[in-house]
Amino acid sequence: MGLHALAVAQPVLSLTTDSPDLFIARKSPDLAVIAFGLWMVVGIPVLLLAGERAAASIRESVGWRLHLVILGAYLSLLALTVLKRADASLSLRAGIDVAGWVLILVALVVAALLVRLFKDYAIAHSYVEFLGLAAPAFFVMFLVQAPLEGVTPSEARQATRPAPVVLVIFDELPTASLLDPDGRIDRRRMPVFARLAATSSWFSSATTVADATSRAVPAILSGRQPSPSQRPTARDWPTNVFSLLRGQYTERSLEPATHLCPERTCRDNVPGVARATGSLIRDSGRIMPKVTAPTDLAERLPPILGEQGTLKDPSEDVERFLAGLRPERRPALSVLHVNLPHHPWRYLPNGRRYRAAGESALPRGFRDPLWTSDAGVVQANWRRHLLQAGYADTVLGKILRRLRRVRMLERSLLIVTADHGISFEPGHEARRATPRNLGGVALVPLFVKLPHQTRGTRVADHAETIDILPTILDAVGAEPGTLQGRSLLKAHRPSRQVAVLSSDGSTVRTPLSAALRQRRAVIRAQEALPEGLPARFRRR
């Protein structure tokens, strides 16, 4: 158990707490997360011990040989861990990379020698026995760092004008992808967004506050600036739209990349404990080789999350969201974060899927954080992005039709935005915010349709995505409290500075006027894109 904790459990649990997407993407209940930790620390070695006992019951020598094989396997993994670190240091200092199979061969030789030592010298047993203390220590460390809910939500606000609230968050959608050369919503390419702008308040200079979904979406839902250390869970963001409106509202949320809606509130969005635990245990079989294998071999293994997250077909979440839009006795808070038009770009505007040559999780030429310097490759991906932005327009049309069909559109507060944008400049960052690319990364759509609003207006004042929650609370007559954003329904002196938390932990700042100039340059570049788009998506 001690050797397993050092060789397998600690690296796996450390990976899952440093990058908790494994739990967050699945909305794993707390009990499932705890059960996963127990499985990694206790379950696997107990299973192996049971196998040893079964073998020894047949013949004692067979059980002993199996024990030595298991011991050798764990010692091999420990030796491989040391060799991987030495190889990384050697590569950094001398530029020498040792092939993964060589490291594995050396680790096996070292393990064989250690097994021989263990077999022939009883004193070696004493050293190994002390390792058993590592198992409970690693489990406790995992519980402290795991994304468990375990928080008391903030006090709910009393809504004096409760109305249905529908919040739609698109992903990786820059405002420039919606606009024509005159800076208006392009009615030909984006007819639904154009119709929404005609009946709502369109904040044409809205910006995000973060370039990564795991920070940008929580900022939208909480009305607060994100920090690099916060994880996208209710534990790290206890004050959010769900906690502030709980009690008066029926709350539904589809968050593929975050988990701010508490389990007890959004029960339809949380799988059962048994199902979630089984899914995590199955994925542990993918995580272990990914963690223990040498770097060059680990890169060839399939992704841990498989078809989770951005690789998931967004139509499933959209259909579930549409089914939940219906009149109820209590007003509903309905939140949808849909991974459109986020890469990989593989959908036509009508939602039909196509396959491009060499398609993978990342577009050809895109290696985060930089684009290739080949302008032709970047432009090809840009055209695919614009096609998929058309699919986002189609999805928005489905939502509006559903709201109209169930007679909710007129009396609902409808807010449509995006978590962040993307830049398409050859040789430069695509997603990580820099002063050079904020025109694509920072400027995002923001439409606010108040209950019974029928006439649209364009608001050129600067707005931020952290202003969305205060605006919701103001519209339903609730007290915003101490949120960092401010209501867009009240007069204010807008900021002329754009500030975006970059994925490298720094805050990138630039004047709003500079970001708007960059966006105009992006629109001119879009206008000059080569032919290759369907007629509806070509510039005249």
CATH of the domain at 319: 3.40.720.10
pLDDT along the chain (540 residues), means of 10: 87 80 72 88 91 90 89 89 82 75 87 83 70 84 77 71 94 95 92 96 96 94 91 85 88 86 66 75 79 75 52 82 88 93 91 71 56 85 93 96 94 96 90 91 96 94 95 91 88 86 92 93 80 51
Residues 101 and 190 in one domain: no
Residues 76 and 115 in one domain: yes
The verdict on residue 209 lying in a domain is: yes
pLDDT given at position 486: 92
The verdict on residue 355 lying in a domain is: yes
Report helix, strand or coil for 448: strand
Give me 335's structure tokens: 């939140």
pLDDT given at position 406: 93
The verdict on residue 304 lying in a domain is: no
Q: Phi and psi of 46, rounded to 5°?
A: -65, -40
Residues 408 and 493 in one domain: yes
Report helix, strand or coil for 336: strand
CA 245 to chain centroid: 24
Residues 365 and 495 in one domain: yes
Place of tokens 């930790």: 37
Residues 209 and 332 in one domain: yes
The verdict on residue 321 lying in a domain is: yes
Whether the model clears a pTM of 0.95, i.e. scores above it, the answer is no
CA distance 271 to 283: 16
- Nearest alpha-carbon partner for 457 in 187, 196, 198, 184: 198
The verdict on residue 96 lying in a domain is: yes
Which of 113, 145, 177 terminates a domain? The answer is 145
Residues 395 and 514 in one domain: yes
Residues 64 and 111 in one domain: yes
The DSSP output letter for 5 is: I
CB 21 within 8 A of CB 118: no
The verdict on residue 280 lying in a domain is: no
The verdict on residue 7 lying in a domain is: yes
Q: Is 92 exposed, middle or buried (0-12, 13-18, 19+ CB in 10 A)?
A: exposed
pLDDT given at position 306: 42
Number of domains in the chain: 2
What is the torsion angle, in degrees rounded to the nearest 10, for the CA atoms of residue 259, residue 264, residue 268 and residue 270?
A: 50
The verdict on residue 44 lying in a domain is: yes
CB 431 within 8 A of CB 181: no
Residues 103 and 237 in one domain: no
Residues 140 and 188 in one domain: no
pLDDT given at position 398: 96
What domain range is 13 assigned to?
A: 2-145
CA distance 348 to 152: 44
Report helix, strand or coil for 428: coil
Which of 145, 177, 200 terminates a domain? The answer is 145
Residues 433 and 319 in one domain: yes
Residues 141 and 80 in one domain: yes
Residues 90 and 231 in one domain: no
